[in-house]
A and B are shown apart, each in its own frame.
Chain A
């Protein structure tokens, strides 16, 4: 049974504190623990800091043999180029990514919730078949869908449009499975009560079930958002012109075969990373908790 715990649960006052360590935390152990964590932090943060710093270097400084943690000639020229060039509308890419990820997340949640509710609470012919088929595709790797979907998208003339990045991946078998689990775990009394009051199925779904399911819906939406945001291969091949690119695909086009410019590359990466990082810092607890719930299949 999945248990949804609101908020984090670091509540135990007798924490197991890593069974490896054993016993109460001695000072030495604490120091070692912090030392490891600090090393980890350095390993994680320093590349990101270097990326930020390099985005303010001149091209020459970016390829200087001695790495500069403080630019010798700080400049915003890389940003000027990236933001001003028609070939690389980075802000437009960011916008496209946000649009695509949000749209797909909404589509995923909407379609999966409706389907999951029917599978959880209703009885009808073909139910086993349908559910079985959906579950079966959970194990089918996405790779076999790439080529045929490309053809289908081409037939629909969706190439080079955000629709191609939003719609095909919106059928989430995982979403249906996940939400169905959740719906069946809800006590039926509330739905019963609504039924007795004369509410029809959609009403019950909309007014009773959905509000109760906010954590699950939010988790699914978040996962769908992240998955679409990070999608790289598909947008790389179905999007053509500069204005239609999403961030990952657009960034990849910066690696020009003839002249790799690290200062521009880092500036582009920064523009791509900054909004996400800020959003993440703001919603960090929510994001992390949402992700952590996916592993809990009670």
Chain B
């Protein structure tokens, strides 16, 4: 009986709820009112690039993951930029990297993303495929950037589906850190450069009383060590086009076996939990460790009394090679394009990337040749790993490669170094998983 004239009779009420529900459904069904961002190009509008911003006051949101020792250096550059450009205010937000790649796409979809960001080279394809970032070929042209300005692999690494999505800022790779007191005690002048020297070094240290001179991690950065080794051995983790996993090749098995052997032979203890090998290095419980060059400032700050040296990772196999990655500037997709912000972003990107010599103080290797060849760089600690830029190897530009690595190789390396599986078995299983994922990603992202 609906004799009640009130708008809140049951039928109307249920209707109201249904309307709310339907609204929710349709909004979600349509892929959200966020529409497909990322269809806009990098905006080549506005004439000649003068490096000057003459528009109205504008605020730029700049997101990155520099939560460690590198953060303050970027902050300093941002502050300097803000001072130099009174009509542009750049606000920097740091989100630790492991959360960054989850939060950025989510924020962009919701329309709350930043304007400019930093992204790792191996994540550019994923962000691009998720339409979180915009192509910036125009910007590169406007800023007159070319391959000859950069390390070729780094420059090329910013391309996905024939469009450029990243302006390189720096390169960072794995390196080896050694306690110089321990080296001297073992009669060595420098960190080991190859397999023989490595074996010699650790055995001398062992007999000198240091039970575990080198700790092999089972989680981060163990898989980075593995990548370096398989490249050194002439193999590759993935095929050239990134479409299939090749890390379970004979070269891969040999690489992983070398890692596991260090544990089995007692050079390294078992079950090295995450970060413990690094903490042990700082406290002098081991003599050497492989870690990224990004640890340089942390070491200086938190282990000031430790005397250490940084060198390229030893060449265990035939070729010199090391896992590398790089930070790039990216432009985020927006629901509504704002030309002023675009202009301001270009200026910001250009200036900061030119200062990559300044950025080198954070421990990174500048991607720009000019900055690397600059005299001031030679005095940086990380210059020691850059003698030959050809050793830098990068993962292929394939969307979703990060997750494929996490579910595939990282699991295999973890199981093998925990002595739970033989290297070959671990790698074969992981390759199966990786290939399935790659296949699914292909379907999802369209290659």
Contact = CB atoms under 8 A, between A and B. Distances in A.
Q: Is A in direct contact with B (CB under 8 Å) within the complex? A: yes
A154 B295 contact: no
A240 B107 contact: yes
A258 B302 CA distance: 13
A159 interface: yes
Interface in B310-341: none
A59 B302 contact: yes
B27 A155 contact: yes
Interface in B275-332: 275, 278-279, 282-283, 285, 292, 294-295, 298, 302-303
B275 A259 contact: yes
Tell me what chain A mostly uses at the interface: helix, strand, loop, or mixed.
Answer: loop
A125 B8 CA distance: 10
Contact of B67 (A87, A151, A152): A87
B71 interface: yes
Interface in B83-112: 93-99, 102-103, 106-107, 109-112
Tell me what chain B mostly uses at the interface: helix, strand, loop, or mixed.
Answer: helix
A60 B112 contact: no
A256 B14 CA distance: 49
Contact of A259 (B33, B112, B298): B298
Contacts of A125: 9-10
Given A63-B279, A154-B110, A160-B112, A126 B13 contact: yes
Interface string B134-167: 0000000000000000000000000000000000
A261 B283 CA distance: 13
A222 B375 CA distance: 64
Given A87-B67, A159-B107, A160-B107, A253 B220 contact: no
B35 interface: no
B274 interface: yes
Contacts of A87: 67, 71, 94
Contacts of A237: 102
A256 B107 contact: no
B32 interface: yes
B28 A241 contact: no
Nearest to B303: A60
Contact of B33 (A64, A155, A159, A257): A155
Contacts of A11: none
A261 B94 CA distance: 18
A157 B110 contact: yes
A232 B3 CA distance: 49
A257 B112 contact: no
B276 to A, nearest CB: 9
B13, B93, B294 — which one has the most chain A CB atoms within 10 A of its CB? Answer: B93
B103 A260 contact: no
Contacts of A152: 24, 28
A149 to B, nearest CB: 10
B15 interface: no
Contacts of B97: 257
Contacts of A257: 96-98, 220, 274
Contacts of A60: 282-283, 302-303
A242 interface: yes
B277 to A, nearest CB: 12
Interface string B7-19: 0011001100000
A155 B29 CA distance: 12
Contacts of B13: 126
5 contacts: A63-B283, A154-B32, A159-B106, A258-B292, A260-B279
Interface of A: 59-60, 63-65, 86-87, 125-126, 148, 151-155, 157, 159-160, 237, 240-242, 253, 256-261
